[in-house]
Each structure stands twice: as C-alpha cells, then as structure tokens.
Amino acid sequence: MITSYVLTPTSGCAPLPVTATWTTTGATKVSISGVGGDLPPSGSKSFNVNATGDVVLTAYAASVIWY
C-alpha cells in the first residue's frame, strides 16, 4: 500500500526537474513511470519529466506461494 506520494514541483514546462518522495507499507519495491529500474519501498528520486501527463508510482509486494 502506498501511504504517501508527493511530486515537487507539481507544474511547469518540460523538461521539468522534479523530486518524487514516497512511503509504502508492505511493498518490496516500487516503480515510477518514466524512470527506469526498481526503486526502494520508501525513498526519493530526482528526475526530469519530459512530457505532460501523470507520473504514476506503482508498489509491488512479495509473492507468496502456498503448497
């Protein structure tokens, strides 16, 4: 579950340097649209937004396999 997700600044012209800050509960990793690679379950990342649209944070939990 994503408990907080903040992208600053929230508006501007591309390419826009932004910083995303997030916290999760129960996640093992997260990904952000437009940013390559897996990121830690809580943290921050600076990057450039090169187009208009949403910047989506997705949290992933560990899979549990029962036999």
Question: How far apart are the C-alpha atoms of 16 and 58, rounded to whole Å?
Answer: 21
Read off the pTM: 0.85
Residue 5: is its pLDDT beyond 90? yes
39 three-state secondary structure: strand
Domain around 24 = 2-55
Each residue's pLDDT tens digit, 20-64: 999 999 999 999 998 989 999 999 999 999 888 889 999 999 876
Cβ partners under 8 Å of residue 14, min gap 6: 48, 49, 50, 51, 52
* Domains: count for the chain: 1
Look at residue 65 and tell me if it is in a domain. no
Q: Using only C-alpha atoms, what is the Rg of the chain? A: 13
Q: Residue 35: what residue type? A: V
Question: How far apart are the C-alpha atoms of 27 and 43, rounded to whole Å?
Answer: 12
